[in-house]
Amino acid sequence: GGRLEEMFMATTHAKFYCAINTVGVAPCIVGKSNMFRKSHLDEATDPARNPILTGTSATSATLPSGIDYFSSYMCEDHVIGDLLWRTRIAGFANHGLVYGDLAIQPMAGMSVRAYAARRVRWLRARKWTVLSATLVEHGVESLVCCFYLSFGLTTVPWVHDTLSIPQTWSALLWCWALAVTLWMLVDRAVFKRLHAGLSIAVDGNTPSFARGASRGGAEKRLFGEWLLAWLGREVFALPIWTWAVFLGTGVDWRGKRFRVRSDMTVVAMDEDTEDVNGRLGDGSEGIRSGKID
């Protein structure tokens, strides 16, 4: 499970977060890697000083200001980043990148079940936060995306007439295998680049795990074991996405069960009133107000 988590963070997650940040259409926030000014949070969450809060939902209108404004949200780091992104603060841009001063998160050993549960929690928290992105996310995973490409190459008449690609199932499989292989090679390059740790400012206080593979810190992955983890991550991607998006709204967080609501807030749930998919039963008394740390 830990290897799958490592693979996700150092390939798919890294590529698409970098892409969206480069384009600059929306904030991509990784909570442990960000610092916010308290004064900016106070300003952004005060309806009297932030006009974009005018006309928001009744729930938002009753929330306290400052950091407590975000206490009812599961993905509070994204909500903080999104609000700061949309708030005009005099003298400041949307965000800044600090070279060399990075947050490093070593991956702990975990079971495959724990990895799947973590990914389900992420997806269900994001489902109402960035709905459109979540719904198309499965289409940018390697196996599905390469199938879309291969299907198009072997069915579109113009492609057949121009490139002479046969319109057969065997041709589709060959195109798919080639596309997946190229995707894997790109992921391998991104993984090695990130684990090299070249952008980390190293000094005498830097722990070994944060020094990067280029300085004898992070363990280098042989291609064989890396490939097994990559294949496992890719194969699990679509089933996990399907389970998270379509088969429930409940998430486990620090020993408690919560339901993610469509306004991005969460409420705690009693275990005896939820079904196996994390949906509420008939008893409304199963809901009580909850707060995520």
As annotated, the active-site residues are 77
Is 248 in contact with 279 (CB distance < 8 Å)?
yes
What 3-state class would DSSP assign to 258? strand
What 3-state class would DSSP assign to 253? strand
Strand partners, 256: 253
DSSP conformation class of 53: G
HSE (side-chain half, CA atoms, 13 Å) at 85? 13
**Per-residue b or e along 131-145, where b marks 16 or more CB atoms closer than 10 Å to that residue's CB:** eeebeebbeebbbbe
88: CB partners within 8 A, 6+ apart: none
Name the token pair of 232: 């496992």
62: CB partners within 8 A, 6+ apart: none
What 3-state class would DSSP assign to 279? coil
Is 253 in contact with 136 (CB distance < 8 Å)?
no
Residue 40, amino acid = H
d(CA 60, CA 46): 11
**To 10 degrees, what angle do helices 2-10 and 169-196 make?**
90
Is 115 in contact with 1 (CB distance < 8 Å)?
yes
